[in-house]
């Protein structure tokens, strides 16, 4: 699944292509919005929040989420698309370019005043101008029994981290991903590391994983073989459920709790 850095860079590309331009065609290939026509509207802004992306005109906000396989591509008008046309779910065109969203996991058209309803439940955006480390810490500490690996993945705590970066952040802080939040020795430093890592990935790509996807390869720090396992949870008492997903770690640098 694309993480916050990918969505941030996608917003930058769409901003360059669309902001200040008049839409000459809009094609929503989603039944609920099939009749929406934005021809003649000017794109005011393109922004991201965590893994959510917004294309705004003066009247509406087009909200998209890439989910697992979604991607936005920008083409010059008449240029051949590089992905199958059948996978296109949204096309926004100007006189010069076509911005096409392929395999998007979510497409919504909202009144500008309603945009907040999509993100109100989320924690602070790690890549946003309003990043608030204190609020992120407060949210993480609400469930001290929860593993830090799962807490980092929960967008309600801090928005933008996915499966790759949670493993990388825990490795950098020498914390096993299964460690309960309440047992993390320096939680503020881990939150600061999250902000640094995602910011570096967004502004200076590509990020080269140190542990993610490197099972049985040597740890870049000590040479021990990287390990992996599944981590998930189902805690009805805390209203928390996450399906099992892979975590990667060094057994020596990050001893299990």
Which residue of the set 2, 139, 146, 168 is catalytic? 2
Q: What is the DSSP letter of 240?
A: E
Quote the strand ranges of 163-239, DSSP E: 227-235
Torsion angle of C-alpha atoms 12, 167, 107, 39, degrees rounded to 10: 10
For residue 115, indicate whether it is catalytic: no
Cα gap 215→167, rounded to integer Å: 12
Which residue of the set 3, 98, 168, 193 is catalytic? 3
Q: In this structure, are residues 131 and 125 in contact, taking their beta carbons and an 8 Å threshold?
A: yes
Distance of CA 256 to the CA centre of its chain: 27
Q: Which strands sit side by side in the sheet containing 71-76, from one edge to the other?
A: 25-28, 88-93, 97-102, 71-76
For residue 3, indicate whether it is catalytic: yes
Task: Give the residue from 221, 240, 228, 126 showing the smallest Cα distance to 178.
Answer: 228
Which residues, 6 or more positions from 112, have their beta carbon under 8 angstroms from its beta carbon? 56, 58, 59, 60, 61
Which residue of the set 51, 89, 139, 173 is catalytic? 51
For residue 245, indicate whether it is catalytic: yes
SS (H, E, C) 110-163: EEHHHCHHHHCCCCCECCCCCCCHHHHHHHHCCCCCCEHHHHHHCCCCCECCCH
Task: Give the residue from 58, 24, 7 showing the smallest Cα distance to 205.
Answer: 7
Which residue of the set 106, 112, 141, 245 is catalytic? 245
For residue 51, indicate whether it is catalytic: yes
Instruction: Give the residue numbers marked as catalytic.
Output: 2-3, 51, 245
């Amino acid at each position: 699944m694309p993480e916050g850095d990918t969505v941030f860079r996608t917003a930058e590309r769409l901003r360059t292509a669309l902001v200040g331009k008049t839409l000459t065609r809009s094609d929503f290939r989603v039944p609920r919005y099939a009749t929406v026509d934005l021809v003649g509207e000017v794109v005011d802004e393109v922004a991201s929040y965590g893994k959510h992306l917004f294309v705004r005109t003066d009247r509406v906000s087009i909200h998209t989420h890439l989910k697992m396989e979604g991607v936005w591509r920008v083409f010059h008008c008449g240029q051949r698309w590089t992905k199958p046309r059948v996978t296109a779910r949204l096309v926004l065109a100007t006189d010069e370019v076509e911005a096409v969203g392929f395999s998007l996991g979510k497409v919504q058209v909202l009144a500008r005043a309603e945009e907040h309803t999509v993100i109100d439940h989320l924690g602070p955006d790690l890549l946003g101008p309003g990043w608030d480390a204190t609020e992120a810490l407060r949210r993480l500490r609400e469930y001290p029994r929860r593993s830090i690996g799962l807490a980092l993945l929960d967008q309600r705590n801090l928005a933008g981290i996915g499966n790759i970066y949670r493993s990388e952040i825990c490795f950098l802080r020498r914390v096993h991903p299964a460690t309960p939040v309440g047992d993390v020795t320096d939680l503020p430093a881990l939150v600061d590391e999250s902000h640094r890592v995602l910011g570096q990935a967004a502004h200076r790509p590509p990020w080269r994983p140190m542990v993610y996807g490197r099972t049985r390869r040597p740890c870049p720090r000590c040479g021990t073989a990287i390990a992996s396992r599944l981590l998930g949870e189902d805690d009805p008492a805390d209203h928390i459920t996450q399906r099992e997903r892979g975590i990667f770690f060094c057994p020596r640098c990050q001893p299990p709790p």
